[in-house]
Amino acid sequence: MSEAPSIVILTGAGISKESGLDTFRDSDGIWAKVRIEDVATPEAFARNPSRVQEFYNARRAGLKDPKVVPNAAHEALARLEREWPGEVLLVTQNIDDLHERAGSKNLIHMHGELLKVRCEYCDALMRWEEPLSTSTPCPHCGRKSGMRPHVVWFGEMPIGMDAIYEKLDTCGLFVSIGTSGNVYPAAGFVQHVRYRGLAHSVELNLEPSQGATLFAEVILGPATEIVPAFVDRILTDGVPTAV
């Protein structure tokens, strides 16, 4: 019997919306309240590190809100990883930890993690739950002013790209959930997979993304409804043949 095809799932801010975390580009999203140029570029951090630290301190604190918990979509993806007989790789653009809390294990945070910081002097990477300031000393090298959020800003290289493309090249199913398709390289994954012609591709989103026409199948609705139903379908019927 042939092996079960592997699955790659890309998630974006939309999957965490019903857990109480803001998306970026919706009308009530983060970029409606702050400017990308002020908080999400290396230049912004060089110009005004306190402003950038405040932005991420507030979001880190928000993750501790007892109301912010994994929702049915996060839980369904953890179930898929547990029950699917082949490999399931979850690639998230989200910096929250809701996939881990739901039980996902095979996970790449391509835009970093809110609960980690790193030192620009010694490259030490560490878990961090408290506010960070420009005078926080690195616990490893002791130097001040080098501690920064472990997140990927515009112009910086996303994390784990070699491993992600290796799995995109061999998967039988690519699924994109809750992402608007505005930010590369993640927005280009569907083209990469379609070009190879060997994987079925599905978008699950509240509304069609920028690249919706590139997917073989598009399912629209809130993630907490459509993701559990989709996972049930895959576990029952298997992965459709690529078209």
Q: What tokens were used for 223?
A: 């993630």
Q: Is 29 in the site for ligand BJW (CB under 6 A)?
A: yes
Q: Is 42 in the site for ligand BJW (CB under 6 A)?
A: no
Distance separating alpha carbons of residues 168 and 185, to the nearest angstrom: 13
Q: How near is the Cβ of 142 to ligand BJW at its closest, in Å? A: 27
Q: How near is the Cβ of 85 to ligand BJW at its closest, in Å? A: 27
Q: Is 104 in the site for ligand BJW (CB under 6 A)?
A: no
Given 111, 140, 150, 200, the catalytic residue: 111
Burial label, 4 (beta-carbon count in 10 A; 0-12, 13-18, 19+): middle
Residues 110-169 that bind ligand BJW (CB under 6 A): 111, 151-158, 161
Residue type, 136: T
Beta bridge partners of 89: 8
196: left (phi over 0), alpha (psi -120 to 50) or beta: alpha
Burial 70-89 (b: 16+ CB within 10 A, else e): bbbbbbbbbbbbeebeebbb
Q: How near is the Cβ of 241 to ligand BJW at its closest, in Å? A: 26
Identify the H or E element spanning 229. helix 223-237
Q: Is 98 in the site for ligand BJW (CB under 6 A)?
A: no
111 in catalytic set: yes
Q: Is 38 in the site for ligand BJW (CB under 6 A)?
A: no
Q: Which is nearer to ligand BJW, 191 or 241 (CB)?
A: 191
Q: Is 90 in the site for ligand BJW (CB under 6 A)?
A: no
Active site residues: 111
Binding residues for ligand BJW, rule: CB under 6 A, are 12-14, 17-18, 23-26, 29, 40, 93, 95, 111, 151-158, 161, 178-180, 182-185, 205-207, 209, 222-223
